[in-house]
């Protein structure tokens, strides 16, 4: 097992079951305008909670877990849970830095979250970009290398910072609709996310 992967080795398989498929949003007359409006609106959403499941593959190795992500402005608290609700890892950060707590009691600190994850785990996980990608929009630090929109003006595929993000479904009951299922790929890394619950802005869990 490569260095750092032992941090997640205690996770037992938790199968990602298919979510109920909502009726698709009708096509819009101007998909590009709808996309610009969507990016502008969701870029201003800086307080939310996401609960879901993840399946991570790095080469031939696999892990499955539950996740809870709390975002408040630039501050975030990401918890990853294994079997029976046991916390496997926790990332807490803001504009001043980030702390990674592992199941084994180790604590890692750094200024940059992506660099910290790479140093601790031995492979890349785009936490800084994922904060925006989970909303279905590109990260603001750079222009996407590529994007494909659906008929409703939402991303069906983004490519940014070397990562390819594919959206397999949106929660049509929300306005704006938020991603329900997505997949991220970078070289030998593949991360699949299923969003079970969104709480936006000042909604309480």
Q: Where are the beta strands (DSSP E) in 123-187?
A: 146-149, 155-160, 163-171, 178-186
When divided into structural domains, the chain yields a total of 1
Look at residue 18 and tell me if it is in a domain: no
Look at residue 138 and tell me if it is in a domain: yes
Residue 53 makes CB contacts below 8 A (sequence gap 6+) with 14, 16, 64, 65, 66, 67, 193, 194, 196
Look at residue 21 and tell me if it is in a domain: no
Look at residue 155 and tell me if it is in a domain: yes
Tell me which of 21 and 126 has the higher pLDDT. 126
Look at residue 159 and tell me if it is in a domain: yes
Domain hosting residue 177, numbered range: 5-10+30-200
- Say which CATH number the domain at 118 has: 2.50.20.10
Q: Which pLDDT belongs to residue 89? A: 86
Lowest mean pLDDT among 10-19, 36-45, 193-202: 10-19
Sheet with 163-171, strands from edge to edge, namely 107-110, 97-102, 87-94, 75-81, 61-72, 47-58, 189-200, 178-186, 163-171, 155-160, 146-149
The pLDDT of residue 155 is above 80: yes
């Amino acid at each position: 097992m490569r260095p750092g992967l032992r941090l997640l080795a205690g996770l037992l398989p938790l199968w990602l079951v298919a979510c109920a498929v909502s009726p698709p949003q009708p096509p819009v007359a101007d998909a590009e305008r709808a996309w610009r409006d969507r990016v502008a609106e969701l870029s201003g959403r800086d307080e939310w909670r996401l609960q879901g499941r993840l399946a991570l593959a790095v080469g031939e190795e696999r892990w499955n877990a539950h996740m809870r992500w709390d975002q408040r402005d630039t501050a975030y608290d990401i918890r990853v849970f294994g079997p029976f609700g046991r916390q496997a890892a926790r990332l807490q950060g803001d504009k001043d830095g980030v702390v990674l707590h592992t199941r084994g009691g180790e604590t890692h600190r750094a200024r940059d979250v992506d660099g910290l994850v790479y140093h601790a785990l031995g492979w890349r996980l785009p936490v800084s970009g994922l904060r925006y990608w989970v909303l279905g929009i590109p990260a603001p630090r750079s222009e996407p290398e590529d994007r494909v929109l659906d008929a409703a003006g939402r991303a069906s595929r983004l490519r940014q910072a070397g990562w390819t993000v594919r959206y397999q479904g949106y929660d049509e009951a929300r306005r704006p609709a938020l991603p329900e299922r997505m997949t991220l790929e970078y070289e030998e890394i593949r991360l699949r996310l299923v969003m079970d619950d969104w709480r936006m802005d000042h909604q309480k869990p």
